[in-house]
Amino acid sequence: MRKLYNHDTDLLEYVYIIMSTVKPNDSINKQLQQDEILGQQQQHRRQQTRISKQRAKVLITEYCRNK
């Protein structure tokens, strides 16, 4: 895994965003605008959602392929 990163700070930040329980401010703000219609309960639940390790690996692989 260390060879994959190769001091790529963008990738490390990307992985952190994927795996963190609290999404970055930009995505939270976009999400808040979308969720005004859906209500407060769903909004709170989505912010706390973590993705699976398998999904994270897929996203990281796509990121590396696109780069």
Q: How many domains does the chain have?
A: 1
Instruction: Let me know: does 4 contact 64? Beta carbons within 8 Å.
Output: yes
Measured CA to CA, the distance from residue 5 to residue 14 in angstroms comes to: 11
Structure tokens at 18: 């994927």
Phi, psi of 21, deg, nearest 5: -80, -25
pLDDT digits (tens, 9 = 90+) for 6-62: 566 666 677 766 666 555 555 555 555 555 555 555 545 555 566 777 888 888 888
* pTM score, whole prediction: 0.33
What is the chain's Cα-based Rg? 14
Domain assignment of residue 11, given as a range: 2-66
63 is written with which tokens? 């990121």
